[in-house]
Chain A
Amino acid sequence: MIDFTEEQIERYSRHIILPEVGAEGQSKLLESKVFMIGAGGLGSPVAYYLAAAGVGTIGIADADVVDMSNLQRQIIHNQDRVGIPKVESARETIQSLNPDVKVNTYNYRIDADNVREIVREYDLIIDGCDNFPTRFLVNDACFFERKPLISGAMFRFEGQVATFKPHSSKEAPCYRCLYPEPPPAGLVPSCSEAGILGALAGAVGTIQAVEAIKELLGIGDSLAGRLMVFDALRMEWKKLKLHKDPACPLCGEHATITELITYEQACELQLGHS
């Protein structure tokens, strides 16, 4: 266990007094490594809360620079950072919040050639990207590398969060058990093409952050095998039970996917990760 400094004991006191966390759990968080795909709407609250919680290493991948139109929801950035890489902006915010956190930045698009090596270095992966090719790539990489994946997505007034740990048991589903392949081009719009209620990103991203911290600590009930669906207009959360699809092309009984697949971008507007 880590020897806490006095400042750390004070900083993390509200965690340490929780019996479910304690000094041991806080120590575990400080030694944990989380990789996030996307420093956008979902990545902003995720990075903020993981940093505040003292997750020791946070890796962030995003190829984009901060744009004025991001600031309506991507709260880890600010007006002074417009034009600079999102990963650099996120690093600055995180380090001014909590210097205990080491930030690794990946200022490029993750692809089939680099994703497995990166994922391998981390304990847990959080997907908050803005395009389907990356979602499938990350799911497959996490399956091959046996890493837990907390996936979040949003659109207009709706959010979805699920944890995938297909390596953990024979019954545990992966993202492809839910959606087997990317949608045909143009059929499912992305954030860059359609509106999104900014604060929705906070509601969905913080659920991802809470689940990430629980997974790292091994406390409570994992969201694995469940899909949370949030309808902001009706202010309703639903939790659906997922099943492994025996015919899943990735984790099913007769899997056909044995290596990473590069899908074409469905939309040329989707250049970055968020």
Chain B
Amino acid sequence: MQIQLNGETRETTAETLQQLVAELGLEARTIAIELNREVAPRSRWSETPVRDNDRIEIVHMIGGG
């Protein structure tokens, strides 16, 4: 299936956000995931489905001031 990841089209086999994080090789603790304009609560990543044409943005934790 195809998703829009950070503005770019990408093929994925991930069925949930949790699987997508693993597929992308990201450190879960340092990111937030926006799914269709809303940030998905982390504790629900494993049950939040990824669907065809979803718009997903990965927001990285930053801490500079």
Task: Quote the shortest CB–CB distance from B52 to chain A (angstroms).
Answer: 22
A257 CB-CB contact with B under 8 Å: no
The prevalent SS among residues of A at the interface is loop
CB within 8 Å for A131 and B39 given contacts A180-B29, A181-B29? no
Convert A235-249 into 0s and 1s, putting 1 for each residue whose CB lies closer than 8 angstroms to a CB of B: 000101111111100
Task: Quote the shortest CB–CB distance from B36 to chain A (angstroms).
Answer: 10
Convert B29-65 into 0s and 1s, putting 1 for each residue whose CB lies closer than 8 angstroms to a CB of A: 1101010011111111000000000000101111111
B11 CB-CB contact with A under 8 Å: no
Choose among B27, B34, B62 the residue with the greatest number of A CB atoms under 10 Å from its CB.
Answer: B62
Is B64 a contact partner of A155 (Cβ separation < 8 A)? yes
A40 CB-CB contact with B under 8 Å: yes
Select from chain A the residue with minimum beta-carbon distance to B40: A243
| Interface residue tally for chain B (C-beta within 8 Å) | 21
A158 CB-CB contact with B under 8 Å: yes
Is B62 a contact partner of A154 (Cβ separation < 8 A)? yes
CB within 8 Å for A183 and B61 given contacts A178-B32, A188-B30, A240-B34? yes
Contacts of A43 in B (CB 8 A): 65
Select from chain A the residue with minimum beta-carbon distance to B32: A178
Contacts of B41 in A (CB 8 A): 177, 243-247
Is B29 a contact partner of A245 (Cβ separation < 8 A)? no
Select from chain B the residue with minimum beta-carbon distance to A43: B65
8 A Cβ contacts from A95-148 to B: 127-132, 135
Is B27 a contact partner of A184 (Cβ separation < 8 A)? yes
Convert A179-215 into 0s and 1s, putting 1 for each residue whose CB lies closer than 8 angstroms to a CB of B: 1110110011011001010000000000000000000
CB within 8 Å for A184 and B29 given contacts A40-B65, A41-B64, A274-B65? yes
Contacts of A65 in B (CB 8 A): none
Is A229 a contact partner of B59 (Cβ separation < 8 A)? yes
Task: Quote the shortest CB–CB distance from A27 to chain B (angstroms).
Answer: 31
Is A227 a contact partner of B42 (Cβ separation < 8 A)? no
Contacts of B57 in A (CB 8 A): 238, 240
Residues of A within 8 A of B (CB): 38, 40-43, 127-132, 135, 152-155, 158-160, 177-181, 183-184, 187-188, 190-191, 194, 196, 227, 229, 238, 240-247, 273-274
Residues of B within 8 A of A (CB): 27, 29-30, 32, 34, 37-44, 57, 59-65
Cross-chain pairs A/B with CB under 8 angstroms, 16 sampled: A40-B65, A41-B64, A153-B65, A158-B62, A160-B62, A178-B32, A179-B29, A179-B30, A183-B29, A183-B61, A187-B27, A194-B64, A243-B39, A245-B43, A245-B44, A274-B65
